[in-house]
Structures are given as structure tokens and as C-alpha cells.
């Protein structure tokens, strides 16, 4: 079964895109962002990883409306991967992976993140490893 559970902080701006659906032409909304998660190195020191996450439709709208960089969230979803080849060669290329979120829980109230000063993406990731 392809299921992933992650807890971390939003480490980049949430990018919202709108698309016309293929089936009936209705508007589809996608939100993408980087999630900073903590892991421990071989020496036992906490470090951070960045994981690309995408979510769709009403969940994407709510995520962008109520969260920002440094918001702490829990994501449940599935891993998706595909080969990307910018040169157009039919085989080979780079393997790209991301999490498609089915459920997102907000762990930080909006007011707690909005009163603090803005933080650069790299600093949010560094803090993700220390939480």
C-alpha cells in the first residue's frame, strides 16, 4: 500500500495554480509547497529534509488561506514518482518524487505564524530539524 504520514513545517511559499478539468471543464485548483521534516543523522544530530507536496481543490484553497511559511502541519497521502527528461529523449532522465496529500491537519493556528517576522526558506528548513 502506498501511504505516507509526515509532520513538519511549510518551508516555502504555497503556490496555487488553477486548471480547467479534462472531463467536464470545471476549474481545478492545485497547491504545491515544500515541507521541512526532521530526521536524525548517523551521528544522532537532527537534520532537515525537504519534501515536495501537492494537494488539490478545496483542500488546496484552505491550505493557502489558513497557512503560510513556518506553519506546522501533518500530511497523509501517497508517494508519486515519474521520470522527467528536459531534453525530450524517450528513455532515462531524472526521477522526481512528491507526496500527493489526501488529508492535511493544521497544527499551528494562523495567528501564531502571522505575528512573527517573515523567515527565509532556508531558515525555516533549518528550524524544522531543531523542533
Q: CATH number, domain at 68?
A: 2.40.50.140
Specify the pTM: 0.76
The pLDDT assigned to 120 comes to 43
Give the structural domain span for 38: 4-130
Overall domain count for the chain: 1
The pLDDT assigned to 111 comes to 60
CA angle 96, 105, 36 (to 5 degrees): 40
The pLDDT assigned to 22 comes to 79
The pLDDT assigned to 17 comes to 96
The pLDDT assigned to 42 comes to 86
CB 20 within 8 Å of CB 32 = no
The pLDDT assigned to 110 comes to 61
User: pLDDT tens, position by position, for the chain (131 residues)?
Assistant: 899 999 999 999 999 999 987 778 888 999 999 999 998 888 888 899 999 999 999 999 999 999 999 999 999 999 999 888 877 777 777 889 999 999 999 998 766 544 444 444 445 445 544 44
The pLDDT assigned to 85 comes to 80
Q: Give dist(CA 80, CA 100) in Å, integer.
A: 7
Q: Give dist(CA 69, CA 85) in Å, integer.
A: 30
Q: Give dist(CA 114, CA 94) in Å, integer.
A: 37
The pLDDT assigned to 121 comes to 44
DSSP state of 92: -
Amino acid at each position: 500500500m502506498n501511504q505516507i504520514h509526515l509532520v513538519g513545517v511549510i518551508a516555502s511559499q504555497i503556490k496555487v495554480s488553477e486548471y480547467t478539468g479534462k472531463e467536464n471543464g470545471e476549474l481545478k485548483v492545485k497547491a504545491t509547497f515544500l515541507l521541512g521534516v526532521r530526521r536524525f543523522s548517523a551521528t544522532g544530530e537532527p537534520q532537515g529534509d525537504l519534501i515536495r507536496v501537492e494537494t488539490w481543490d478545496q483542500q488546496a484553497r484552505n491550505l493557502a488561506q489558513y497557512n503560510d511559511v513556518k506553519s506546522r502541519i501533518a500530511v497523509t497521502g501517497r508517494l508519486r514518482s515519474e521520470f522527467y527528461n528536459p531534453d525530450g529523449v524517450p528513455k532515462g532522465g531524472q526521477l522526481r518524487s512528491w507526496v500527493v496529500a489526501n488529508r492535511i491537519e493544521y497544527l499551528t493556528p494562523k495567528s501564531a505564524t502571522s505575528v512573527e517576522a517573515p523567515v527565509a526558506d532556508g531558515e525555516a528548513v533549518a528550524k524544522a530539524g531543531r523542533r
